[in-house]
């Protein structure tokens, strides 16, 4: 079984668990909101702090700065594509932010890092971890603004954003943090992924199953998310002389399915979480085909 398919099946098992819990009323609307609050305000900050500071590799400082710069550029390009393409889909005003967010941000953590490590080897996991620094900073600031509209600064300066920012500065300044603190943060942060899947499954379980497939705009969205952005990134990177593994990571990450954090953020800050869950479900399912194709065609 390929690394991509393995990770996707793991994610769907988590989503299925949340779906079943909602259907049999073990997980309620209030319970979903409580879990979302705990993840965004407690568990995620611990996860981000440990994940960023545990990024260790033989890559020199210049390589680190190049990777961070190109990672920010990737999200900037994805954001520009979102601004150009999403208006063409003509989504309702309340849904536009979800499409913008999910076009700009893919699942670069739960699927992206293990897939890059398996396909590319070498320093791929390290580069993937570095890419998650700008992703998390954008996700918990601009991402919240896109999903929920204009928010007071105190809401954008949330625990996850502050923890990610603090960890990024400590990492770049080479400030040592005791291993026992990082291990403790990582221990708590391990709950992030399963909780996120439970939340997505719970939201999907709250709507009639056939409605999951009624969002016609999801079709062009999935094509852009899983193919278009990766092709664009490959074309742009062909003009640059950088580490081939870093190029591969950026291309694969650009072609990841929808980011799973959006459903939690919609639950906490407002936004169409049902649409978010649909896009995550559909794009993740189809990525079981597209990611192995990327690996077979581009990285053979």
Q: How confident is the model over 84-106, as pLDDT tens digits?
A: 999 999 999 889 999 999 999 99
pLDDT at 149 over 80: no
Query: pTM for the complete prediction?
Result: 0.80
pLDDT at 70: 93
Residue 259 — pLDDT band, cuts 50, 70, 90? confident
Question: What pLDDT score was predicted for residue 57?
Answer: 60
pLDDT digits (tens, 9 = 90+) for 178-216: 989 999 998 998 888 788 888 888 888 888 877 778 888
**pLDDT at res. 55:** 63
CATH number at residue 137: 1.20.1530.20
Quick one: pLDDT band at residue 226, thresholds 50, 70, 90? very high
Identify the pLDDT of residue 72. 92
Q: What is the mean pLDDT of residues 139-149?
A: 82
pLDDT at position 52 over 80: no
Rounded to an integer, the average pLDDT of 52-74 is 79
For residue 92, what are its two tokens? 């309702």
| Average pLDDT score over residue span 61-80 | 89
**pLDDT tens across 266-281, in order?**
888 888 888 998 998 8
Domain coverage including residue 31: 3-298
Averaged pLDDT score across all residues of the chain: 84
Higher pLDDT, residue 209 or 32: 32
Structural domain total, the chain: 1
Q: Is the pLDDT of residue 222 over 70?
A: yes
Q: What is the pLDDT of residue 151?
A: 62
């Amino acid at each position: 079984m390929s690394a991509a398919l393995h990770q996707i099946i793991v994610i769907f098992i988590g989503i299925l668990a949340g779906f079943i819990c909602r259907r049999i009323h073990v997980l309620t609307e209030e319970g979903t909101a409580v879990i979302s609050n705990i993840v965004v305000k407690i568990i995620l900050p611990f996860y981000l702090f440990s994940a960023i500071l545990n990024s260790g590799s033989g890559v020199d400082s210049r390589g680190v700065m190049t990777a961070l710069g190109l990672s920010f550029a990737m999200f900037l390009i994805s954001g520009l594509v979102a601004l150009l393409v999403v208006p063409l889909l003509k989504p309702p005003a309340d849904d536009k932010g979800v499409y913008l967010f999910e076009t700009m941000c893919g699942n670069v953590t739960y699927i992206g890092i293990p897939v890059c490590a398996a396909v590319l080897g070498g320093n791929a996991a390290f580069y993937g971890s570095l890419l998650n620094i700008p992703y998390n900073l954008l996700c918990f600031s601009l991402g919240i603004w896109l999903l929920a509209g204009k928010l007071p600064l105190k809401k954008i300066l949330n625990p996850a954003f502050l923890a990610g920012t603090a960890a990024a500065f400590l990492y770049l300044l080479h400030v040592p943090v005791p291993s026992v603190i990082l291990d403790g943060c990582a221990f708590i942060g391990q709950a992030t992924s399963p909780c996120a899947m439970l939340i997505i499954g719970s939201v999907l379980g709250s709507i009639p199953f056939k409605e999951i497939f009624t969002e016609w705009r999801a079709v062009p969205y999935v094509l852009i998310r899983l193919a278009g952005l990766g092709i664009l990134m490959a074309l742009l990177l062909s003009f640059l002389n950088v580490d081939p593994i870093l190029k591969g990571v950026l291309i694969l990450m650009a072609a990841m399915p929808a980011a799973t954090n959006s459903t939690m953020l919609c639950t906490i800050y407002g936004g169409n979480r049902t649409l978010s869950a649909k896009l995550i479900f559909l794009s993740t399912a189809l990525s079981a085909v597209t990611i192995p194709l990327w690996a077979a065609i581009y990285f053979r």
